[in-house]
Amino acid sequence: MSDRMREADGSDADTTELIQLASITKQFGSQKALDGVDLEIRAGEVHALVGENGAGKSTLGKVISGFHLPDSGRMTVAGKPVSYRSPSAALHDGIVTMHQEISLALDCTVIDNVLLGREQHRFGYVAKRRNLEIFDELVERTGFELDPNATAGDLGLPAQQEVEIMRAIARDARLIIMDEPTAALPGEAAAKLHKVVRRLRDSGTSIVYISHFLDEVLDLSDRVSVLRNGRHVRTRDASDYTHTSLISDMLGRSLEANYPEKPAVPANARVILDAKQVRVPGASGPVDVTVRAGEVLGIFGLVGSGRSELAHALFGATKGVEADITLDESPYQPRSPRYALDSGISLLPESRKTEGLFLGLNQRHNVSSAFLKDVSTAGVVNRKREADLTRDALTDMGVDNVDLTADVMRLSGGNQQKVLFGKCLFRTPKLLILDEPTRGVDVGSRRAIYDRVVEFVRSGMAVIVISSELDEVTHLCHRLVVMRGGEIVGSFDPDSADHDKVLQTAFGASEPELADSAPHTKAR
């Protein structure tokens, strides 16, 4: 949980009200995006907004920041009634928004973007030395290592986001609205952003944090507000939520209702994967893994337990693997990913951003990269067939509003994951390995993914689900094994497994130690 919790009982924490929303409504055509929302945002807090896609999170953020004028309702800032008709009006009161899409002048320098509209002048000329001093002060406050003279368009996405944060601070922001700020960031960049958010909060800046990543919401925020179908469900201290109870509030039903019923494994199901004595270079072992047709095997463990390394080894992405493997009763050697694909094994990797998708390319290029040779003759790609097959794959996965020319970076986390599924499933595999299949995916899209997994096993596919979410593997899988230190250290029946014992096995800890190190029943 956050290290600075807000208590409602008159503790020392600052509970000064900064933003007050009362009965806010907003409608687009026949769709009511916000329906009588009441919300309070305090000074110097990280206030998370969560909910399914379409719950109204981003719309509410845009109402607060002046991008949308509400149809009805009242808003006050520090006790003053306001009715923003533009973002500039909100900016005048210190309200700044960081959108999912970067909004920088890409042809301009970093310092020009940071101080845009706030440049210091002397005798009618830009005071370059003073502006550089201000920039250096911002670097000191944030810890960002940015070259003031670099061109913004030449920076990577994490650095561009740092420029936006520095610009918000330069504008004396009292409130920064961050809409899915880590959706396209790798792990190290996301962790760096979290540190800055805490630093901003501790300096008195309020943060409205909109995210589908529930773990970061629970870890980073002081309070959490849940929206559902445009309505405010409730606001609670983050410390009062668990991963399960937060999802239940978002869904309006129990977590169990978000999982489909898993079909029974046929009694005569043939063995699809029989991997014995798998040894991965640099890891312990050996590991034995067996999966039958129509079966889901769950692998649970901490980061560094060897679970992803095992997936890469089976997929041929790791050199020097030693193993005795049969695939659908034929000998198999994990020589390379291409050989694995041709043999009938497909892997959905842990990180869609760094291992699965080409973020600078559109949906068509991402999906078709897996099957170009199937739509090519003498090296020439049949573009119509490529487009038709890509569209079919994305439609089958339930991607919203399929646009083959749309950059995948601009998609929601759920739709990005569905694009990756479409890429992995173009050739129907015998064995599908899913490494963290719903990481960073909203709960509504999770159900769509779970439904597809059930469809896969009903068709006779063998599936391995690797996940750090214990609820996920116990609800989806027929068998569950736990990895630690590169070895399988436990096996459980998911339907009757005691969660504490599974976690204890994963941590290699006694029960008291487990209670201190396993918040939210999630392996970290």
pLDDT in tens, 181-237: 887 676 777 888 899 899 999 989 999 999 888 889 999 999 999 999 899 999 999
**pLDDT (mean) for 251-279:** 88
Q: What is the DSSP string of 357-410?
A: --TTSBHHHHHHTTTGGGGEETTEE-HHHHHHHHHHHHHHTT-TT--TTSBGGG
φ/ψ (deg, to 5) at 224: -130, 130
Residue 17 token pair: 């009200």
Calpha distance 148→128 (Å, rounded): 11
In terms of DSSP H, where are the helices of 36-186? 57-64, 87-92, 110-114, 128-142, 157-170
| Res. 131 pLDDT band, cuts 50 70 90 | confident
| CATH architecture type of domain 259-344+429-524 | 3-Layer(aba) Sandwich (3.40)
Task: Tell whether the model's pLDDT for residue 63 goes beyond 90.
Answer: yes
Matching residue, tokens 């573009």: 383
Matching residue, tokens 């445009």: 230
Task: Tell whether the model's pLDDT for residue 336 goes beyond 90.
Answer: yes
Task: Tell whether the model's pLDDT for residue 423 goes beyond 50.
Answer: yes
Residue 19 burial (CB < 10 Å; 0-12/13-18/19+)? buried
pLDDT of residue 378: 79
| Res. 13 pLDDT band, cuts 50 70 90 | very low
Sheet arrangement for strand 231-237: 95-98, 175-179, 206-210, 46-50, 223-228, 231-237
Task: Tell whether the model's pLDDT for residue 478 goes beyond 90.
Answer: yes
Least confident span in 432-436, 460-464, 466-470, 511-515: 511-515
Amino acid at the residue 304: G
Matching residue, tokens 């807000």: 6
Least confident span in 7-21, 35-49, 248-262, 509-523: 509-523
Q: Is 57 helix (H, G, I), strand (E, B) or coil?
A: helix
| Res. 263 pLDDT band, cuts 50 70 90 | very high
**pLDDT (mean) for 501-507:** 88
Task: Tell whether the model's pLDDT for residue 180 goes beyond 50.
Answer: yes
Higher pLDDT pick, 415 / 17:
17
Q: Angle CA(207)–CA(208)–CA(213) in degrees, nearest 5?
A: 110
Residue 313 token pair: 């080894």
Q: Is 444 helix (H, G, I), strand (E, B) or coil?
A: helix
CB 287 within 8 A of CB 278: yes
| DSSP helix, strand, coil percent of the chain (3-state; round to 5) | 35, 25, 40
Q: Angle CA(104)–CA(171)–CA(12) in degrees, nearest 5?
A: 125
Residue 129 token pair: 């030395």
| Res. 171 pLDDT band, cuts 50 70 90 | confident
Calpha distance 230→59 (Å, rounded): 9
> How distant is the alpha carbon of residue 362 from its chain centre?
19
Q: For the domain 1-6+16-94+173-254, what is the CATH code? A: 3.40.50.300
Number of H helices, E strands in the chain: 17, 24
Task: Tell whether the model's pLDDT for residue 287 goes beyond 80.
Answer: yes
**pLDDT (mean) for 399-425:** 80
pLDDT of residue 435: 93
pLDDT of residue 7: 38
**pLDDT (mean) for 238-257:** 83
Give the orientation angle of helix 383-396 with respect to helix 413-424, to 10 degrees: 120
Task: Tell whether the model's pLDDT for residue 464 goes beyond 50.
Answer: yes
pLDDT of residue 126: 66
CATH 3.40.50.300, the chain: domain bounds: 1-6+16-94+173-254, 259-344+429-524
In angstroms, how far apart are the furthest CA atoms of the chain? 87
How high does pLDDT run on average in the chain? 86
* Span 225-243, pLDDT tens digits: 999 989 999 999 999 998 8
pLDDT of residue 108: 92
Least confident span in 95-104, 164-173, 220-229, 344-353: 95-104
Q: What DSSP element (H or E) covers 41?
A: strand 31-42
Percent above pLDDT 70 for the chain? 91
Sheet arrangement for strand 330-332: 287-292, 271-279, 322-327, 330-332
Task: Tell whether the model's pLDDT for residue 351 goes beyond 90.
Answer: no
| Res. 438 pLDDT band, cuts 50 70 90 | confident
pLDDT of residue 408: 82
Sequence-separated (6 or more) residues with CB below 8 Å from residue 343: 327, 332
pLDDT of residue 495: 92
Distances in whole angstroms, Cα of residue 201 to Cα of each of 4, 126, 163, 284, 386: 9, 32, 18, 43, 49
Q: Angle CA(257)–CA(261)–CA(263) in degrees, nearest 5?
A: 170
